Amino acid sequence: MYQSQLAGANEICTGWLMRSSDGGNTWSQVSGTHTVYTQGATDRTGWYWDGTGYRAKACVRDAGGHQACTPAF
């Protein structure tokens, strides 16, 4: 779980999924961009193929523009 150090009431947080089909050398956004507007809110991207040869990671950006991604899995 990502928690913004600047989080306050009604701040926007944006998230998306990235996918690589070449072992993590290049990445592309596979999901739409999902935005939540309040602390504790959640959203779901749906299912995306990540079988053999594919890698995935989830990324978020807080209202202050700070971005973080999970390690590739």
Assigned domain for 44 exists:
yes
Residue type, position 22, single letter: D
Please state the pTM of the whole predicted model: 0.78
Identify the band that residue 10 occupies on the pLDDT scale cut at 50, 70 and 90.
low
Residue 4 within any structural domain of the chain: no
Please indicate, yes or no, if residue 46 is contained in any of the structural domains: yes
Q: Is residue 43 part of a domain?
A: yes
pLDDT value at position 64? 87
Per the structure, how many domains does the chain have?
1
Residue 50 confidence class, pLDDT cut points 50, 70, 90? confident
Question: What range defines the domain where residue 40 resides?
Answer: 13-69
Does 3 map to a domain?
no
CA distance 9 to 56: 30
